[in-house]
Structure 1
């Protein structure tokens, strides 16, 4: 008889786990191997696609250059072919950097920002190729300046108006792509990627004025030239031999009538024949009158003492309407320097006086020689009028190089010698965003908007001999970290030593306004940043009594400077930039007169030198 426990009654037996552990090791190893393989594949996938994307972007660069070259030469077929190549390469680069795996990699520390930057560069390039270059090439024949030059006094506006929606859409796409690249921080990027971002950002900055000029032209020109009804354009010729803040004394005014692109010169008058009026013809703010005097709203020649071109243009338009009736739709200013550039497009123009005016002799002829030849102002006015009429006739007839004409107008805007104001609110809104607006300088939290303007007080044409240079700098000098800005303006009388007797009385002023013949009296007007404070003013090393005030929340200092032939003096003005947190500067100036006898490049802006600002006790 067997004695024992049943299976159910027997104690539980130990379970052996070792075989299980042995089974798990291969699983763990397999998981690790798979993970390594996946990481390798992940890295390899991104690495290979990064190399391929870089190749595509590099291949796109010659195509982009080819597009620009073809459009400049008028080769529409070549531009289209190059645009297709550019678009193909850019699309490939965007595709290679836009998949989910690439986006997943952007979350990896250190590596991720570089991947994100490459994707943004590729995407921006693709957007510009598809949404900017290709559409613009498609309408290039329509917007080509060669197709827009006048024929028998008429410009075909219908083609320009038809291209406007395409150009506007391209302009919007361009700025969207530019904003994407500008938003990439290069601080944590490796050198090749950071360089690529900076290069593309710089390219956007260089191209932006061209794209905006094209977009704004298609928006503005059809309406301003009478596509939707007749328009009256007042062309104001400024004479920098007698300076005003916006460029020069208003020597003559011409009314051009535009009707569906047909341009006719309807009236022309000397500036001295319009007005004056006993009271202001337009609403001039008390602050402006306090700085420049009551004549700003009463005399045409003084309307542009203020550098605020929209205000000056409004006053000029009101004066013309008061004198002649009718309506002025827009005001455009120009000067002999711009005229010299336009003459490169038209070629020499024969005048009724027997002279031939050219790009080389326009400046000395109109700013100096005419005064030596014709002592009477009526004779001078007649000469200026005949010259303007002859040049307009040649321009309107279309006898010109359209490419050079476009270059001349573009350069005139860049150098701030061309200003445009429109009485139509929608057009003025567009103009306000351009270099043509001539508004007071704008400040930002990082940069103080500074203005340096010159107004003649000699009452003569001696500014033909005035040399001027402007320099500025900013520094943080205070414990509250508010920066201060320093502006220096140096003026030189370059007239010959015997100018008082050798030059015509009309040029020297003959002492009529209390300035000895041969000397130059200039009012230097310096605007500080909006919300800022005037901290100090000097003439040379000495404090000086000035006229000061506030214009549109900007502190203003007006310093008179009188110079004998050969003499130089420097005005120094200091401001507290109360609303700024950085020492940046944005300096606007009056377009300076050319050096005596020279013909300056119309596209050159007045150079503002950078200087070190040494803090002193006044601003601390």
Structure 2
């Protein structure tokens, strides 16, 4: 059966032309971007859209129905769905009329075009453009085959020419892309290597790599810009790939060169502490180049993020994802460095003396923060000059000041409820006068800002002076400092402590010394000698110090706090704040031990933490079982009473701990060794706290189990902030969610781990 021909002429031709041009203009106004160039897109959409609608004026009625139905199926808004539905009904009406009605057929196609032009991004790889082009091309072809022979011949020649031009443009871009591919891949690799070096503080090497990245990206841009790659700008989808690659090479070259130029004037060696002094002016001078560096990295991040568009195929897209992750991480590092440099002059006494309290702790007598504070120091900084202005033992602070005037009025009611029994003479008294052993228990909370604020308030009332900030270092941090300052002689004990052995000696071996007075002096001698040497030598550069102490800061073994919020932000940004891990709407778990026997038996305690979680998405509930195993390997003799004895009349070697479990979910039940028990409950900084005293005999293992259950938002995936207390022997933790292990290897490091 011969195909029905439709001749569009006379008044119909005029109406069809008006509908076609109008449809093309309206489609262009919607802003579809098949090539990524505003001018080219506008011309292309108007011409191609008008041509397709003009050709569709002679297409079979059912093709218009099909096109409108496809548009309706993908319509993102209700009004577009209504418009597409009306076009579908219009096409059906044309079919029922059994008449040509060319302008009506064109109108149906034009309406379908309007919806297709407003689909937005459906999926990756330019699906929206491919769908729109495909539907309109289908209408055009179906219309062309029903035109008179002469018109068909002309149209086929036009379509053939367009297809040939597209093939040539694709081939030309393919050649250009092949010529640029090696340089693009090398540029990506070199840029990532440069960013890694920059993050490590190796500025000279980073500068060399950024210069190389600029050269390689420039070479890639030259290859993509050759004449045979230019026609690709006119081909939908292909043009987006080309533009993404060209923009990446252009910006990559410019920004890499900018970063290299900035790095040529940045020298972190100027920030070294030399003989107890840091050049404050050198710190201030760095603000301008670091600001430029931050801006350049931000521009690189913006370019890579925008270049990583839905148009890119996986091969290039995955490489950009890796580069984007590196750039985003370095952007945070650059922001942190900028904040630190802005605040550093004031913190270093440029505007007047600054005073800082330093607590030296040891986890052999556990506290929630990590360990008991055995010694302390006061450091004053004036115009960059660091001086030890006081040093002493915890007992001096316990005994210092007017007992009646030693109050803690700045702590919260929640803090009093949690730690009042350990800090205050009478927790129920509004005066909040501290107890005689307050400084011995002051590190009971795992949240360093809370502990530091308490220290800052209490120190002036204990014989000290007002301070601008507080630092804490445990024996592992002191041992790391000794890698800079060298071995320490302790004449009274007759020993020389090497940096490599310092941690183990301070944690266990010192307690084997026969002379108890000498033993008490060990930590004091090591800490004071190390600090004094630090202030009489040249320290490593800030990036080197960051590499040395970064892990200790993440573990909570080294932390800092500032009275002024803008300066506290520095510690927060560099992960040195020592905060109780924020849950941010998720679950949380932390187990802490607070020694309640006034001995050093915590050096012999180990165990494990296991958390089994079940998520009930149907009811938006989470339940879990927390199993805590604690073992005590302390000897019963052979060590001094101050080590294995206690003040609660328990046998030697017994560990009495005030065990606290911090959970994100409410606790339903508790048991110790399968016997149901009660616990003291409360809250602290968004956590539910469950506490009890547990005695562990030498050689004994105790098992504590908690059952938790609570709700979770229906639109939030389950996640967990898992924290480990910085003990002598950190308790390995494992997590299982719905029978799947989230910790293939137990988490053994102190600090916080966010899962998954």
Same fold (TM over 0.5): yes
Alpha-carbon distance in 2 for matches of 1:120, 1:460: 65
- Do the aligned partners of residues 431 and 404 (structure 1) sit closer, same or farther apart at CA in structure 2, a change above 3 Å counting? closer
Gaps of 5+ in 1: 1-19, 596-605, 616-620
Distance 1:185 1:487 in 2: 43
1:516 to 635, 651, 660: 651
Q: Which structure is higher in helix share?
A: 2
Q: Does 1:40 align with 2:167?
A: yes
- Assess if the C-alpha contact under 8 Å between 1:232 and 1:258 holds in 2: yes
Q: 1:420 aligns with which of 544, 551, 560?
A: 560
SS at match of 2:608: strand
Larger-Rg structure:
2
Deviation at residue 204 of structure 1 after TM alignment: 4.8
**Measured at CA, do residues 444 and 385 of structure 1 come closer, stay the same or move farther in structure 2, by a change above 3 Å?**
closer
Secondary structure of 2:535's aligned partner:
helix
> Residues 254 and 181 of structure 1: is their aligned pair in 2 closer, same or farther, counting only changes over 3 Å?
same
User: TM-score normalized by structure 2?
Assistant: 0.66
Query: How far 1:379 moved relative to its partner?
Result: 4.5
**1:51-109 residue CA offsets vs partner (Å, 9 max, x unmatched):** 4554233212553476479779998665433221112334566798999988987x75x
1:546-581 deviation line (CA, Å, top 9, x unaligned):
111122332111243322223333433344453452
CA distance in 2, matches of 1:443, 1:516: 40
Cα deviations by residue, 1:418-470 (Å, 9 ceiling, x for unpaired): 1100011211133234421122221235x424333221122111111121433
Is 1:138 aligned with 2:264?
A: yes
Distance across 1 between alignment mates of 2:234 and 2:650? 76
1:107-256 correspondence runs (5 A): 108=237, 129=256, 133-134=259-260, 137-141=263-267, 143-144=268-269, 147-171=270-294, 174=297, 191-193=314-316, 195-200=318-323, 202-204=325-327, 207=330, 211=334, 214-256=337-379
Hey, what's the Cα distance between the residues in 2 that align with 1:268 and 1:197? 53
Q: Counterpart of 2:461?
A: 322
**1:343-399: CA deviations, max 9, x gaps?**
2223323445453222222123222333332654x6544333222221112211225
Q: Which runs of 5+ in 2 are unaligned?
A: 1-146, 425-433, 741-756
Asked whether the equivalents of residues 114 and 193 of structure 1 are also in contact (C-alpha less than 8 Å), the reply is no
CA pair 21-70 structure 1, distance change in 2 beyond 3 A: closer
Q: How far apart, in 2, do the equivalents of 1:321 and 1:102 lie?
A: 73
Separation in 1, partners of 2:246, 2:662:
44
Residue 723 of structure 2 is aligned to residue 588 of structure 1: yes
Contact 1:474 1:583 in 2 (8 A): no
Provide closer, same or farther for how the CA distance between residues 40 and 407 of structure 1 changes in structure 2, counting only shifts above 3 A.
same
Deviation at 1:153?
2.0
3-state SS in 2 of match to 1:248? strand
**Kept in 2: contact 1:442–1:448 (CA 8 A):** no
Counterpart contact for 1:448–1:577, Cα < 8 Å: no
* Corresponding residue for residue 83 of structure 1: 210
Structure 1 residues 27 and 199, CA gap change in structure 2 (3 angstroms)? same
Corresponding residue for 2:502?
362
Give the aligned partner of residue 500 of structure 1. 636
What value does the CA root-mean-square deviation take over the aligned residues? 3.9
Preserved CA contact (<8 Å) 2:608 2:630: yes
Mapped to 2, the partners of 1:579 and 1:206 lie a distance apart of 30
**Who is 1:411 aligned against?**
551
Per-residue Cα deviation, 1:142-178 (whole angstroms, up to 9, x for no partner):
x14xx43332321122212211343245346546765
CA distance, structure 1, for counterparts of residue 548 and residue 309 of structure 2: 37
Hey, what does 1:546 align to over in structure 2? Answer: 679
Aligned counterpart in structure 2 of residue 555 of structure 1, from 688, 692, 716 = 688
2:593 is the counterpart of 1:460: no
Query: Given that residues 373 and 439 in structure 2 are in contact (C-alpha distance below 8 angstroms), is that contact kept between their aligned partners in structure 1?
Result: yes
1:302 to 441, 449, 454: 441
**Distance in 1 (alpha carbons) for counterparts of 2:669 and 2:295:** 44
Corresponding residue to 2:478 among 339, 344, 351: 339
Match of 2:380 in 1: 257
1:533 to 666, 671, 689: 666
What is the alpha-carbon distance in structure 2 between the residues aligned to residue 441 and residue 102 of structure 1? 52
Q: Distance in 1 between matches of 2:234 and 2:709?
A: 49
Number of corresponding residues: 571
Which residue number corresponds to residue 372 of structure 1? Answer: 512
Residue matched to 2:572: 432
Distance 1:48 1:67 in 2: 29
SS at match of 1:500: coil
1: CA distance, partners of 2:372 / 2:460 = 20
Partner SS state of residue 391, structure 1: helix
Contact 1:474 1:584 in 2 (8 A): no
1:481 matched to 2:609? The reply is no
Asked if the contact 1:539–1:569 (Cα under 8 Å) also holds between the matched residues in 2, the reply is yes
- Aligned 8 A contact 2:380 2:387 in 1: yes
Per the alignment, residue 102 of structure 2 pairs with: none
Q: Cα 1:311–1:69, aligned 2, differ >3 Å: closer, same or farther?
A: closer
Alpha-carbon separation, structure 2, partners of 1:537 and 1:101: 73
- Conserved in 2, the CA contact under 8 Å of 1:473 and 1:611? yes
Question: Aligned runs of 1:343-354 on 2, under 5 Å?
Answer: 343-353=482-492, 354=494
